[in-house]
Amino acid sequence: MQNQEIIYDIAIIGAGAAGQMGVLRSVLNNKNTIAFTGDAQTKRKSRATWVHKVVNMPMAADLNRPISSATKDTFEWIKAESGFADKFTDMQETVISLEKDKVTGHFNLKTNLDKEFKAKYVLLATGIMDIQPEIDGSIKPVLPYANQGHVDYCVRCDGHKSKQKITATIGHTAAAAWVAIMLYERYQPPAMKIFTNGQTPEFPPETLPLLEAYKIKVVREPIIGIKGDPKEKMEAFILKDCDNLAEDCNKTKEEPVELAFAMLGQIAYNDLAKQVRADINSRGNIICNPKGESSVTGLYVAGDLRDTGKYQIYTAWDQAVDSVDDMDAKLRLEYREEFLKKSKLVKDEIQEEVNVGNESELELDKKTGEFDPHCNEQSDVAIHS
């Protein structure tokens, strides 16, 4: 429920691998936590939404949509069984505005439904998305094959699939060349190719001898279609077959390929970081210290959006834990100092009451003339009276 009077300890934006672990760690640290998981449109743009299988991580091979299902299960457990449900607020909305209050240092967050929230710390886990190859001017022909794992984006996740398949990279820059070289060196697929999709190759000079030695074929013609059945297999890219690549002709040809890795770069979801002027590198990732704190005090980043890491579920989890524990340490220090300050005030008040009480007793002694062994003058009067 929206309440501008509530100042949450930690706000977590994003619900992929980093976001889910950030929420779990924050709640189990007994911190007042609010999570923004995004609306339907935001979720469709999330890389995590399109991860159907994960086989390069223990205990995940049999899971369907492991990241999305883990988020759902984790949030349900927190709400129903954890004993910390009162520490968790789940907002299925997208944060569109992030500001830092110059006076309090707290963050002001505004969602797509025009709701406003406040938090002492923010964990940004909005991630990235891979740039899709265009086929005949559209990314739509690629998506069915990508959803079935015939077109991939992560070599560490899926490179092993190239071992017995005709494999290719799609791209015209250094990434396409080096990934093709690495795949050949690791797995020696039956054939290794690079599709520049009509672009002029911009490969580093040091890659050229290796491309030639490993017989990695560079295919420059534009891709205008895909042959195969997405549910079964990919068989070939259909290419424009013209003597001049700029020529408009109806001739086509097929180039066999069973597995392709798109190496075209990324879209970094860093708009909120830009709003608070966090430092960003040339790829769009947020520059952070080892604990994940950005150049903006109190703004942390975990997962693929951070400038360091392996773009893996397990590293996103580790980063989220480190970041949330660092926030926890700062929140506990704030609590500790406030507690000791209050304790000192209470102690001072008690001492003041004791002092006042002693003074009152002394006044009473003087008025009643009671014997005070510490007052020689009064004792002498009492003795000679």
Is it true that 7-129+266-337 and 143-262 share their CATH fold?
yes
State the pLDDT at residue 239: 95
Place of tokens 């070289």: 181
State the pLDDT at residue 4: 57
Q: What is the CA radius of gyration of the chain?
A: 32
CATH of 143-262 given 3.30.300.30, 3.40.50.300, 3.30.70.1060, 3.50.50.60: 3.50.50.60
Q: What is the DSSP string of 53-107?
A: ---SSTT-TT-SSHHHHHHHHHHHHHHHTSS-GGGEEEE-S-EEEEEE-TTT--E
State the pLDDT at residue 3: 54
Which two structure tokens, joined as six digits, stand for 235?
């068989």
State the pLDDT at residue 232: 96
Torsions phi, psi for 372 (to 5 deg): -125, 105
Residue 110: exposure state from Cβ atoms within 10 A (0-12, 13-18, ≥19): middle
pLDDT digit string (tens) for the chain, length 385 residues = 455 589 999 999 999 999 999 999 999 999 999 999 999 888 888 878 778 888 888 888 888 888 898 999 999 999 999 999 999 999 999 999 999 999 999 999 999 999 999 999 999 999 999 999 999 899 999 999 999 999 999 999 999 999 999 999 999 999 999 999 999 999 999 999 999 999 999 999 999 999 999 999 999 999 999 999 999 999 999 998 887 666 677 889 999 999 999 999 999 999 999 999 999 999 999 999 999 999 999 999 999 999 988 999 999 999 999 999 999 999 999 999 999 988 887 777 777 776 766 666 556 555 555 445 444 444 444 333 3
- With H, G, I as helix, E, B as strand and everything else as coil, classify residue 26: helix
State the pLDDT at residue 363: 62
CA distances from 149 to 54, 132, 322 (A): 11, 14, 32
- What span, in angstroms and rounded, lies between the C-alpha atoms of 354 and 192? 87
The domain limits of the chain are: 7-129+266-337, 143-262
Per residue in 148-179, pLDDT (tens digit) is 999 999 999 999 999 999 999 999 999 999 99
- What span, in angstroms and rounded, lies between the C-alpha atoms of 111 and 303? 22
Superfamily of domain 7-129+266-337: FAD/NAD(P)-binding domain (3.50.50.60)
